[in-house]
Amino acid sequence: HGYGVPTLAPTPRLGAAMAADLSSLRLARLRALEAVARVGAWTVCQLFVGSAATGGARTRLHFDQYDNFYLQLAGTKTFRLFDPSQSGRLAPYPVHHRMDRSAQALPPRCDDARGVEVTLQPGEILFLPAYWWHEVTTGPVPAGALAVSLNFWYSAMQQILSPEWPLGPPLRVELARQLEYLVADSFGDAGRAVPAFFRGLRAQVAA
């Protein structure tokens, strides 16, 4: 992986077929997509490979703090997507919880959240902006075949440091997280007083 300017350099530890695949990636097309999406610095590239045993595997509904281009190379992946404005309906875990950035509300509790579902076929790419909720399910993988995905992560720090006003849903999620950190750290209790504090604050604002 690189930082800033995309560079992919296969190492001797990779097999010849995988090295050839990496070398054949058309990074010029990726750069064109980066310009359209106005993403930050390229930070990490991840490769996901699954066998027949991974068919039906599903991630927990969560969001990431990075922009992401998700490229499907073999097999299929189905995404359930919710934009950041639906965060209240998905009941995120507290920031100090080990499941931070994951949703507590699972079907049918989150059925009132408005989302979309999309299935990526081989050769298709999905742009997943930072703070968008997503649950990913691997499609059926025949015996002897593989499910292969490649994603490119981009820093969203520039959006946070130089926000556009008024704040859109993604940065409102980040602002809420920072307020939660501030209250929890002020009480020195890793977040146990946060719900009571905000309930009291809401009551005073409404009064």
pLDDT tens-digit map of 87-127: 988 989 989 889 999 998 766 566 688 899 999 999 999 99
Tens-digit pLDDT profile for residues 17-65? 777 777 777 788 888 999 999 999 888 888 899 999 999 999 999 999 9
State the greatest distance between any 2 C-alpha atoms of the chain, in Å, as a whole number.
68
pLDDT at 4 over 50: no
How high does pLDDT run on average in the chain? 87
Place 67 in a pLDDT band, splitting at 50, 70 and 90. Answer: very high
d(Cα 36, Cα 24) in Å, to the nearest integer?
22
> What pLDDT sits at residue 107?
60
pLDDT-based confidence at residue 84 (cuts at 50, 70, 90): very high
Q: How much is the pTM?
A: 0.85
